[in-house]
């Protein structure tokens, strides 16, 4: 946040149900619910049109929101995103992800894997942040959402300008995965690879990420 240009842009940071200041909010924890919540927030703020930015799980939300309100979304930025095709995990991978919901050692292995092995101090901080700000009740439901989501047919051909960002050290969501999904479905999508970065560019290289995001936004201001 310190590196974003608040004079040029107005940002609204959304805590999904079960996260952060919305940790006490219950719900269905589905793709459509998240998109609906975001659109209602935009209405509350008086935004007739806007840009959307989503990271990881909420990368697919940029597609859902753009599909649900194509005339309102001026552009979309998907950072290290899961796509509208979801993430079909093997039974072994599903078991591991479920274990990481409670087991700090498993979560540490996951964070190290998707960042190329960042230092233990950062990993410990990330684990504390996760345990303190994410409600346990939403974890399994959001995982179910990730592995069952599939609304590709609803986003294919969507003309919304998309910027898709991936880190070169993020093994599961790499450039080739984006070329098969976002770039294959969206005619106005472009891909940029962030060097020396894993799955969390907002923490691994925040000034660079802010620069890339706002450069793209400036190209799509009316």
Ordered by start, the domain boundaries in the chain are 20-87+148-219
| 143: Cβ contacts below 8 Å, ≥ 6 apart | 94, 97, 98, 101
**Could you give the residue ranges of the DSSP H alpha helices within the chain?**
31-45, 59-68, 91-100, 104-115, 120-133, 136-148, 152-155, 175-180, 182-185, 201-204, 206-219
- What value does the CA radius of gyration of the chain take, rounded to a whole number of Å? 17
Are 113 and 169 contacting, i.e. CB atoms less than 8 angstroms apart?
A: no
Report pLDDT for 172: 85
Report pLDDT for 221: 87
Q: What is this structure's pTM?
A: 0.96
Give per-residue pLDDT as tens, 198-212: 999 999 999 999 999
DSSP state of 19: B
Q: How far is CA 128 from the centre of its chain?
A: 20
Q: Is 134 helix (H, G, I), strand (E, B) or coil?
A: strand
Report pLDDT for 217: 97
Report pLDDT for 107: 98
The mean pLDDT value for 81-99 works out to 95
What's the CA gap between 88 and 53, in Å, rounded?
A: 23
The token pair that represents 221 in the structure block? 């201001």
122: left (phi over 0), alpha (psi -120 to 50) or beta: alpha
The mean pLDDT value for 104-117 works out to 97
The token pair that represents 199 in the structure block? 């799955």
For residue 222, pLDDT over 80 is answered with no
Are 143 and 97 contacting, i.e. CB atoms less than 8 angstroms apart?
A: yes
Q: Which whole-number Å values give the CA distances from 56 to 2, 6, 45, 111, 173, in the listed order? A: 21, 24, 25, 13, 9
Protein fold of 20-87+148-219: Rossmann fold (3.40.50)
């Amino acid at each position: 946040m310190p590196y974003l240009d608040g004079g040029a842009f107005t940002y609204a940071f959304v805590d999904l149900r079960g996260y952060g200041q919305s940790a006490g909010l219950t719900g269905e924890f589905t793709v459509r619910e998240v998109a609906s919540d975001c659109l209602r927030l935009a209405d509350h703020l008086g935004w007739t049109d806007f840009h959307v930015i989503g990271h990881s799980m909420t990368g697919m939300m940029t597609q859902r929101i753009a599909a649900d309100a194509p005339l309102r979304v001026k552009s979309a930025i998907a950072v290290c995103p899961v796509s509208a095709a979801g993430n079909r995990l093997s039974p072994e991978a599903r078991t591991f992800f479920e274990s990481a919901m409670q087991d700090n050692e498993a979560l540490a292995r996951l964070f190290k894997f998707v960042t190329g092995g960042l230092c233990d101090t950062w990993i410990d901080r990330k684990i504390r942040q996760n345990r303190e700000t994410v409600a346990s009740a939403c974890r399994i439901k959001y995982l179910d959402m990730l592995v069952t989501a599939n609304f590709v047919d609803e986003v294919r051909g969507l003309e919304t300008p998309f910027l898709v960002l991936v880190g070169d050290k993020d093994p599961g969501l790499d450039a080739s995965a984006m070329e098969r999904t976002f770039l294959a479905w969206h005619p106005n999508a472009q891909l940029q690879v962030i060097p020396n970065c894993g799955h969390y560019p907002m923490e691994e290289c925040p000034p660079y990420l802010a620069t890339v995001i706002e450069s793209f936004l400036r190209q799509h201001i009316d």
